[in-house]
């Protein structure tokens, strides 16, 4: 039997689906409850074998009557309250909106964000909207000018219906409420992401997909409240309604970056992807232990998850935290950890305060974030204490040569493994010392390779167990889940009927049809996996990527992330923040990093010879590759991101890129790019901050990068095109730059001058006369352009970036004379 809390959650997930159908069939002049009820009774409920007659009736009634005032049935009241609280309304709105929803478009939530007084003016916000389109891996989910977007709900609805009808009868979707929820959320994400949840008086910037999910999640939480509490909520009293639970799964720096050995470069992607798979698995574990449906996990990505849980879960959560923390400690000895915290949400917390600069929900959100941070710091301290004991403690029996060449752990470490019935042997038979790896490190290399080719993620429920050799999936198995990353061929070979098959990076749910076998797909997700391959199909080595650069044979790393993300969530929408809006905001951001980054890489590197996307998700990315292509990646990601967030100055991106010789260890390079990113975020000038790229150690504004690129291309063109300038010209520019830099340093050391005085003083120094002299000696034909260069360097203060420009040109023309 399906638990009652699940029945109301499903009613919540379905309650407003009629809004989608109503928009597609506007000429029928029926309200959305009618459309929803008819369709759900006709197309959904008859297929769900896990619902008994009573439960079907309850769901159907909730869809039909969720606007009815004074309904006494408990499930109707719960869905009605959940609907109101999800969209941030205590007292239900009554009427359908005026106007014609069949022509209305979803507006980008990004255009409303304001931070520290920065944001779009009303007039600049107005033109943006989303097209009504099914989710594709292209830019069709980017905002466009309203004049370029026309609503086409009939077509979108038809595609949605066809996708539902296309699920084979054998799909777990029809027999398992959890699988149904996953399928339903995936379908909504693909087909209803661009359908506005409500027209009404408010701006339609909340997606129906997110609103339905949040309503379902809240309904499950409200179900356990006593009747008096429901009465009180209906009469607008303030009471606690749910817990907002946050989880943070992270690898201590050591897990990701302090691993040496050239061949080990192949496991970095496996390690970072693992943290995300583990994050999903922990979120899933917590959810299942709390007996909630997948809709209650509001977000999981970038190593964080958030879920809504009933108030009664608090004690159980404490137990779960201990269980998961102990498990990870035994498996990884503190290198991978999880923190789990929660805050109580009151009804009043969910109600936006239009016009206010802050919302109570934003404050709860910030509160949860700070608890997670504190918990993480406490955990790091504990781990550091333990690690120091390890360093000073007696070494194991074997001596250095028995250590894993990648992670340096002794065989069968950490100590807790044995108590779990696991071992971590090091392959000491390997002829090459570099190949003496422990079972875990070997499994990460395997995971890296698998991610590159996987088309499906297969989820299989098993009895929690642990045995054998420690591998990346051991912890997941201990939590009761097996995960497989399969190609289509592998899937067809080893599929079992109860498996949940999730299609990767291709937003479709049609079944896999091969060799007379039909394998149902229950969901869809993104898993960025852009990988450079050699001719023999192996992943290219760093040295190859370095050699494939244009010019000097170096490789580069790039890390980027969204500036002030926590504050954007808690403060960016001011008083307008609601749970549904929060869900729309986080999902929209992750669609860019999880879904679109692969696409950008494909466009920049169609032959898959230069770029390796090690990680992208949540709000950040890590990539490596040929240095010139990595620079192109930084620019393109930034440009595309600006377009994605409607050019809103409140939503910015910073990055750090480093440059390395091919033999430099990748782990250290990736770690350094992280430090460079931090330095870019600390960048400040003329009242602006962040929103910068740390370019080989020097933070620059994005506009300065564009300036440097323009001149880089021009000068390289001169060098290549009939030797209008000689290579010595580049060295002259470098010399001027170093004169300037030396003088700036000297003046700065003396102190006393304000930044402004300093700039003025440096501006008319010796470098300037050297510049004038050098430029004048170049060919007459180039003089007009060189005059422009001189003006920009001097009058626009670009002289600060001349050193970078000279170095850039020097590197990209290294093999030319």
Positions that interact with Zn ion (CB under 5 A): 404, 406-407, 438, 441
Listed in sequence order, the residues at least 6 apart from 504 whose beta carbon sits closer than 8 Å to its beta carbon are 454, 455, 456, 457, 524, 525, 526, 527, 529
**Closest distance to Zn ion from the beta carbon of 419 (Å):** 20
Structure tokens at 16: 């407003």
Q: CA–CA separation, 138 vs 143, rounded Å?
A: 12
Instruction: Provide the minimum distance between the beta carbon of 508 and Zn ion in the complex, in angstroms, as a whole number.
Output: 38
Residue 264 beta carbon to Zn ion: minimum distance, rounded to whole angstroms: 9
Closer residue to Zn ion, CB minimum distance, 219 or 268: 268
Provide, rounded to whole angstroms, the least separation between the CB of residue 440 and Zn ion: 5
Burial class (CB in 10 A: 0-12, 13-18, 19+), 759: middle
Contact (CB, 8 A) for 291 and 177: no
Question: 251 CB contacts (<8 Å, ≥6 apart)?
Answer: 271, 272, 275, 335, 336
Instruction: Record the tokens describing residue 324, joined without a space.
Output: 């998961």
* Shortest spacing between CB 406 and Zn ion, in angstroms: 4
Minimum distance between the CB of residue 613 and Zn ion, rounded to whole angstroms?
A: 24
As measured in angstroms, the least distance from the Cβ of 468 to Zn ion is 16
Q: Which residue has the tokens 């955990």?
A: 379
Q: Which class for 557: exposed (0-12), middle (13-18), buried (19 or more C-beta within 10 A)?
A: buried
Say if residues 313 and 288 touch (Cβ distance below 8 Å). Answer: no
Phi, psi (degrees; rounded to nearest 5) at 555: -110, 160
Q: For the CB of residue 667, give the shortest distance to Zn ion in the complex, in Å.
A: 13
Is 641 strand, coil or helix?
helix
Q: How far is CA 317 from CA 133, 322, 370, in A?
A: 39, 9, 18
Minimum CB separation from Zn ion for residue 271, in Å?
A: 11
- Cβ atoms of 113 and 485 within 8 Å: the answer is no
Q: How far is the CB of 438 from Zn ion (least distance, A)?
A: 3
Work out how close the CB of 268 gets to Zn ion at its nearest, in angstroms, rounded to a whole number.
Answer: 13
Of 332 and 365, CB closest to Zn ion: 332
Please, are residues 280 and 306 in contact by the beta-carbon 8 Å criterion?
no
Those residues with Cβ within 8 angstroms of residue 374's Cβ, 6 or more apart along the chain or in another chain:
none
Listing DSSP states for 68-110 in one string gives -TT---HHHHHHHHHHHHHTT-SSPP-SPPSS-GGG--PPPGG
Nearer to Zn ion, 404 or 621 (CB): 404
Supply the minimum distance, in Å, between the C-beta of residue 260 and Zn ion.
11
> Closer to Zn ion at the Cβ: 266 or 807?
266
d(CA 665, CA 659): 12
Q: Which is closer to Zn ion, CB of 261 or CB of 529?
A: 261
Cα distances (Å, whole numbers) of residue 313 to 241, 243, 244, 761, 813: 12, 8, 11, 65, 63
The contacts of residue 755 (CB under 8 Å, 6+ apart) are: none
Q: What does the DSSP 8-state code read for residue 207?
A: B
Smallest distance, Zn ion to C-beta of residue 671, A? 18
Regarding beta strands 422-423 and 468-469, do their DSSP bridges make them parallel or antiparallel, or are they unpaired? parallel
In this structure, are strands 422-423 and 456-461 parallel, antiparallel, or unpaired?
A: unpaired
| Biggest distance spanned by C-alpha atoms of the chain | 91
What span, in angstroms and rounded, lies between the C-alpha atoms of 424 and 418? 9
Q: Quick check: 229 and 376 in contact, CB under 8 A?
A: no
**Whole-number Å distance between alpha carbons of 567 and 362:** 9
Least distance to Zn ion, CB of residue 555, Å = 24
Q: How far is CA 16 from CA 61, 246, 738, 752, 805, in A?
A: 12, 27, 65, 66, 56
**Angle (deg, nearest 10), helices 17-24 and 208-222:** 150
- Nearer Cβ to Zn ion (426/692): 426
Nearest to 502 by CA among 188, 171, 207: 171
Query: Would you say 404 or 611 has its CB closer to Zn ion?
Result: 404
Helices (H), 682-782: 702-720, 728-750, 755-763, 766-776
- The nearest distance, CB 270 to Zn ion, in angstroms, is 12
Pairing of strands 620-626, 653-661: unpaired
Evaluate whether 15 touches 61 at the Cβ level (below 8 Å): no
| Nearest by Cα to 486 from 513, 447, 520 | 447
| Minimum CB distance to Zn ion smaller for 273 or for 459 | 273
Give 86 or 438: the residue with its C-beta nearer to Zn ion. Answer: 438
Write the CA distances from 780 to 9, 723, 724, 784, 786, integer angstroms.
Answer: 76, 14, 10, 8, 10
According to DSSP, the β-strands at 620-626 and 554-562 are: antiparallel
SS3 label, residue 66: coil
Give the other-Cβ count within 10 Å of 815's Cβ.
10
Cβ of residue 437: shortest distance to Zn ion, in angstroms? Answer: 5
Nearest approach, Cβ of residue 444 and Zn ion (Å)? 8
């Amino acid at each position: 039997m399906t638990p009652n809390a699940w029945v109301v959650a499903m009613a919540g997930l379905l309650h407003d689906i009629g809004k989608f159908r109503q928009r597609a069939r506007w000429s029928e002049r029926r309200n959305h409850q009618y459309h929803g009820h008819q369709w759900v009774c006709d197309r959904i409920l008859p297929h769900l074998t896990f619902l008994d007659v009573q439960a079907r009736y309850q769901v159907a009634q909730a869809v039909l009557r969720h606007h009815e005032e004074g309904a006494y049935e408990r499930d109707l009241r719960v869905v009605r309250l959940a609907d109101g609280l999800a969209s941030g309304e205590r007292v239900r709105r009554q009427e359908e909106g005026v106007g014609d929803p069949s022509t209305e478009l979803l507006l980008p939530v990004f255009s409303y964000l304001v931070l520290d007084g920065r944001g779009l003016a009303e007039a600049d916000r107005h033109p943006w909207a989303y097209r009504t389109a099914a989710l594709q891996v292209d830019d069709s989910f980017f905002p466009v000018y309203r004049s370029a977007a026309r609503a086409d709900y009939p077509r979108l609805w038809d595609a949605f219906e066809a996708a539902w009808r296309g699920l084979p009868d054998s799909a777990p979707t029809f027999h398992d409420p959890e699988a149904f929820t996953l399928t339903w959320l995936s379908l909504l994400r693909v087909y209803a992401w661009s359908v506005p949840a409500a027209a009404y008086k408010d701006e339609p910037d909340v997606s129906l997909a997110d609103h339905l999910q949040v309503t379902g999640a809240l309904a499950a939480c409200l179900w356990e409240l006593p009747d008096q509490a429901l009465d009180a909520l209906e009469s607008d009293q303030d009471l606690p309604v749910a817990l907002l639970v946050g989880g943070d799964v992270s690898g201590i720096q050591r897990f990701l970056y302090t691993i040496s050995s050239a061949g080990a470069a192949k496991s970095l992607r496996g390690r970072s992807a693992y943290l995300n798979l583990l994050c999903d698995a922990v979120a899933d574990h917590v959810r299942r232990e709390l007996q909630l449906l997948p809709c209650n996990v509001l977000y999981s990505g970038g190593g964080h998850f958030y879920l809504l849980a009933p108030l009664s879960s608090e004690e159980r959560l404490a137990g779960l935290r201990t269980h998961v923390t102990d498990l990870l400690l035994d498996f990884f000895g503190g290198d991978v950890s999880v923190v789990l915290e929660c805050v109580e949400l009151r009804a009043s917390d969910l109600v936006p305060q239009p016009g206010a600069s802050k919302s109570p929900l934003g404050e709860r959100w910030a509160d949860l974030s700070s608890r997670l941070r504190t918990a993480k710091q406490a955990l790091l301290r504990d781990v550091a204490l333990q690690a120091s004991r390890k360093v000073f403690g007696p070494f194991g029996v074997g001596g250095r040569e028995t250590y894993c060449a990648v992670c340096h752990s002794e065989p069968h470490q950490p100590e807790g493994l044995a108590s779990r019935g696991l071992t971590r042997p090091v392959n000491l038979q390997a002829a090459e010392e570099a190949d003496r790896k422990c079972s875990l490190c070997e499994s990460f290399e395997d995971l890296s390779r698998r991610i590159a080719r996987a088309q499906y993620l297969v989820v299989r429920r098993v009895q929690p167990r642990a045995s054998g050799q420690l591998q990346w999936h051991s912890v997941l198995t201990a939590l009761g889940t097996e995960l497989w990353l399969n190609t289509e061929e592998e899937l067809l070979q080893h599929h079992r009927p109860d498996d949940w098959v999730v299609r990767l990076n291709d937003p479709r749910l049609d079944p896999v049809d091969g060799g007379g076998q039909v394998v149902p797909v229950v969901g869809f997700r993104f898993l960025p996996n852009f990988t450079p391959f050699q001719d023999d199909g192996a992943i290219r080595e760093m040295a190859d990527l370095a050699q494939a650069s244009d010019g000097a044979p170096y490789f580069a790393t790039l890390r980027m992330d969204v500036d002030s993300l926590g504050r954007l969530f808690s403060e960016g929408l001011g008083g307008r923040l609601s749970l549904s809006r929060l869900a729309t905001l986080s999902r929209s951001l992750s669609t860019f990093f999880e879904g679109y980054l692969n696409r950008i890489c494909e466009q920049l590197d169609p032959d898959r010879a230069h770029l390796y996307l090690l990680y992208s998700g949540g709000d950040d990315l890590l990539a490596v590759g040929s240095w010139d292509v990595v620079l192109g990646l930084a620019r393109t990601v930034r440009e595309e991101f600006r377009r994605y967030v409607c050019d809103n100055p409140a939503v910015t991106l910073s990055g750090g890129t480093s440059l390395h010789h091919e033999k430099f260890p990748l782990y250290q390079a990736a770690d350094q790019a992280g430090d460079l990113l931090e330095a870019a975020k600390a960048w400040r000038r003329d009242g602006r901050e962040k929103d910068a790229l740390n370019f080989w150690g020097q933070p620059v504004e994005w506009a300065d990068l564009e300036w440097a690129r323009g001149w880089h291309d021009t000068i390289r063109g001169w060098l290549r095109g009939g030797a209008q300038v000689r290579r010595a010209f580049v060295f002259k520019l470098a010399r001027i730059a170093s004169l300037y830099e030396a003088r700036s340093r000297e003046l700065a050391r003396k102190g006393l001058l304000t930044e402004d005085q300093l700039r003025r003083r440096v501006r008319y120094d010796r470098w300037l006369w050297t510049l004038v002299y050098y430029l004048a000696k170049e060919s007459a034909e180039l003089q007009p352009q060189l005059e422009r260069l001189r003006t920009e360097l001097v009058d626009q203060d670009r002289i600060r970036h001349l050193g970078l420009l000279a170095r850039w040109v020097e590197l990209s023309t290294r093999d030319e004379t």
